[in-house]
Amino acid sequence: MTSENKGGLIIEGINKRFGDVEVLKDVTLEVRSGEFFTLLGPSGCGKTTLLRIIAGLELPDTGRINLCGQDITSLPATKRQVNTVFQSYALFPHLSIFENVAFGLRSRKFADEVVTERVEKRLEMLGLLDMGDRYPDQLSGGQKQRVALARALVNEPEILLLDEPMSALDAKLRAKVQEDLRRIQRRLGRTFLMVTHDQSEALVCSDRLAVMHEGRVIQYGHPEEVYDFPKTRFVAEFLGAANLIEAKKVPGGADTRYGILRLDEEPSWTRGLLAIRPEWIRIGEKQPGENGVRARVSEVIYRGTSFDLWLEPGPLRVRTSSYRHFRPGDEVWLELAADELTVLEDDA
Amino acid sequence: MKRTHPIITSLALLTMGFLYLPLLGVAVFSVNSARRGLVWKEFTFDWYIRLFSNERILEAAWNTLLLAVISTILATILGTVLAIGMDRFPWSKRTRNFLDIVLHIPVVIPDIILAAALVVAFGLLRVVSSLFDPGLLNMIIGHITFQIAFVALVVRSRLVAIGRDVEEAARDLFAGNWYLLRRVILPLLMPGIVAGAMLAFTLSLDDFVISFFTAGPESQTLPLYIFAAVRRGVTPQIHALSTLIMIITVIIAISTERLTRKDLFGREKK
């Protein structure tokens, strides 16, 4: 796999424990050169520890890290072509914005002209050019975040690590920064590796993502792929919303509380779970050809761009566009189409 | 806003009076021309002028200053190194707790115990070298032993406030140990170091017990001089001397307070 991934990052069999706690369990990942990769998981899943191991701020107990064909497992942070945007930004409060950004160049003794040129270029790119003389405590949260980004990018790292870069921003700004970050990454064509617990952030930004849970990588791939075909109950519920249906395997499908449902793929279990996203359940007046369920609307929740309907038996959540009005008590037909039902790997 | 009860206000005023009236009295009598008694005669700077022509007092002042400056410089360096070592080295939890207790002992232990211990220690060392005969060197070492703890505590609380984030950021930005220390840790630590040093300086300036047990015939300090003089009766000269020491202490205390109130880059907080 090294040959196909010359400029990328390869993580193999990383284990890490703090005292009695196993934080990372045999984590293997490949981040391709030039892609935006996201580690997504709830707090405590080990994603930040993995990021710190890649940055060189923590040593793994076992396993190897390879960056651009070079084994960097035991290289100290100061020797790695890796830079980090910290969750707290960790700007130097006693240095001006210019000197903050220049820090990585100055510590490597670049000539003054080179420092000035490269720092100004980055400040300009991030719209901070007139902030150079200010100090971190004079900036807003969004500006601080951009300074942290400039400070890391000015070193032209092989891989940029971002540790929950938006957790300190308010919701509205976050949406804008997500898109900005994605654009900056495309424009520079550099490898970005982000850690987040926010699924929408992961979906907006990433070329590929990995879902982590309890120290393991559960699933990784393109965002659409992981969203459309979650492998486990955890992924289905963590990434977006999902209806989970208990099922028993029968020839050609599964026996559920909604009757026999035809499935496209054959389950590996005899008793297990099926998942279907709320927006994939078709809702109508007429009985569909197969996998139809007669249901009654029990609750309608308005969400601006859509409605969420809770239906009985179930409860099943259905997301529908807002021009169709349903009221509690309405009797409807649902279609749990075979190509929309995902068979989860978990045993029931 | 809720108004404070008159009883609380008067209690606060009483406390302030209790604390500061005697000091004010000393200051007043230092400019009173009456030689004894509690009668006000007329205003004079005479006692201050006589103070500065008294050889023994000048010598004691010089010793006090020399002792305070040397011990403070050494204690500040050692205390800062100790604080960094205690906070940043990956000690095991048990060792860390142990070091913590060891650091607090000189702060809480009665001076007299520390002084007695020093007397024993210097007694043993004297067998090895006559350098440890009672005198200024012993006093400097004695002062450093308790100053270190105060400096280390102040600097360490600053270290904790700075946090490890900026250090990790500096390492991530290719800073080696020396560069990290010079460009990040020391500048951020400076208000803590200066505050610690000023605290150590004032402690040395008015220390009596440790000095008393370690001083030699040639190393009289002001507190020792005052003690000896007061036994022969309090003179207005002593009032004048005490007032001067008080003023110096107040100046140091105020500037320490101002310094720690400033933020990390020496600018006033909003």
CB burial of residue A131 (10 Å; 0-12, 13-18, 19+) = buried
Question: Which pLDDT belongs to residue A322?
Answer: 65
Domain boundaries, chain B: 62-261
Last residue of a domain, one of A207, A233, A259: A233
Look at B172 and A82 and tell me if their CB atoms are within 8 Å: yes
Same domain, A203 and A307: no
Same domain? For A256 and A334 the reply is: yes
Domain end among A233, A266, A289: A233
Check residues A167 and A98 and name the one with the higher pLDDT. A98
Which chain B residues are Cβ-neighbours of A57 within 8 angstroms? Answer: 168, 171-172
Flag if A86 and B179 touch (Cβ within 8 Å): no
CA distances from A104 to A93, B171, B173, B251 (A): 16, 9, 4, 41
Q: Which long-range contacts (CB under 8 A, 24 or more apart) does B204-209 make?
A: B204/B67, B204/B68, B204/B71, B204/B72, B204/B143, B204/B147, B205/B64, B205/B68, B205/B245, B205/B248, B205/B249, B206/B245, B206/B249, B207/B111, B207/B143, B209/B111, B209/B112, B209/B114, B209/B115
- At residue B2, the pLDDT reads 62
Q: Do B175 and A78 touch (CB under 8 A)?
A: yes
Q: What's the gap in Å between the CA of B164 and the closest CA on chain A?
A: 9
Residue B141's pLDDT is 94
The tens place of each residue's pLDDT in chain B, 270 residues long, gives: 567 788 899 999 999 999 888 888 888 888 888 877 677 888 888 888 888 888 888 899 899 999 999 999 999 999 999 999 998 888 888 999 999 898 898 889 999 999 999 999 999 999 888 888 888 999 999 999 999 999 999 999 999 988 889 999 999 999 999 999 999 999 999 989 998 999 999 899 889 999 999 998 888 898 998 888 888 887 888 888 889 888 988 888 888 777 766 554 544 443
Q: Are A137 and B263 in contact (CB under 8 A)?
A: yes
Residue A3 forms part of a structural domain: no
Residue of B nearest to A77 (CA): B172
By DSSP bridging, strand A159-163 and strand A82-85 are: parallel
Q: Residue B166 is nearest to which of A57, A76, A92, comparing CB atoms?
A: A92
Q: Is A250 within the bounds of a domain? A: yes
* Domains contained in chain A, number: 2
Determine, for residues B173 and A86 on separate chains, whether the beta-carbon distance falls below 8 Å: no
Determine the Cα angle at A267 with ends A266 and A269, to 5°: 145
| B237 residue type, one letter | Q
A65-112 pLDDT per residue, tens: 999 989 999 899 999 999 999 999 999 999 999 999 999 999 999 999
Distance to chain B for A18, nearest Cα, Å: 13
B168 contacts A78? CB cut-off 8 A = no
Q: Do B171 and A151 touch (CB under 8 A)?
A: no
Question: In Å, what is the CA distance from B256 to each residue of A4, A286, B74?
Answer: 62, 82, 19
Q: Are residues A93 and A187 in the same domain?
A: yes
Q: A19 and A94 share a domain?
A: yes
Distance (Å) of CA A111 to CA A105, A133, A153, B159: 9, 20, 18, 32
In the DSSP assignment, the letter for residue A304 is: S
Same domain for A227 and A250? no
Q: Which of A177, A201, A233 is the last residue of a domain?
A: A233
A199 is in which domain, residue-wise?
Answer: 9-233
Domain match, A70 and A199 both: yes
Q: For chain A, say whether B233 makes contact (Cβ under 8 Å).
A: no
Q: Considering the domain boundaries, does residue A2 fall inside one?
A: no
Q: Which tens digit of pLDDT belongs to each residue from A229-274?
A: 999 999 999 988 899 999 999 988 899 988 889 998 888 898 999 9
> Across the interface, do B264 and A104 touch by the CB < 8 Å criterion?
no
The reply to whether A324 falls in a domain is yes
Residue A246 and residue A228 in one domain: no
The complex scores an ipTM of: 0.84
Interface of A with B (CB under 8 A): 55-57, 76-79, 82-84, 86, 88, 90-94, 103-104, 107-108, 135, 137, 151-152, 155
Comparing alpha-carbon positions, the chain A residue that sits nearest to B92 is: A19
Spatial separation of the C-alpha atoms in residues A239 and A229, rounded to whole Å: 11
Shared domain check, A21 and A94: yes
**pLDDT for A1:** 43
- Report percent pLDDT > 70 for chain A: 97
Which chain A residues contact residue B193 at CB under 8 A? Answer: none
Query: Do A318 and A338 share a domain, yes or no?
Result: yes
Are B175 and A93 a contacting pair at CB < 8 A? no
The CATH number that applies at residue A17 is 3.40.50.300
A214 and A120 within one domain:
yes
Type of residue found at B48: Y
Residues of A within 8 A of B188 (CB-CB) are 92-94
Same structural domain, A121 and A219: yes
Is position A4 within any domain? no
Cβ distance B169 to A84 less than 8 Å, yes or no, reads yes
Same domain, yes or no: A137 and A200? yes
* Strand order through the sheet with A292-302: A282-284, A331-335, A292-302, A306-312, A316-321
CA nearest to A82, candidates A60, A62, A49, A57: A57
| Smallest Cα distance from B14 to chain A, Å | 42
Interface test with B, best of A52, A58, A103, A119 (most B CBs within 10 A): A103
- Indicate yes or no: CB of B265 within 8 angstroms of CB of A135: yes
**Bridge partners (DSSP) listed for residue A342:** A275
Helices (H) and strands (E) in chain B, counts: 12, 0
Give the CATH architecture of domain B62-261: Orthogonal Bundle (1.10)
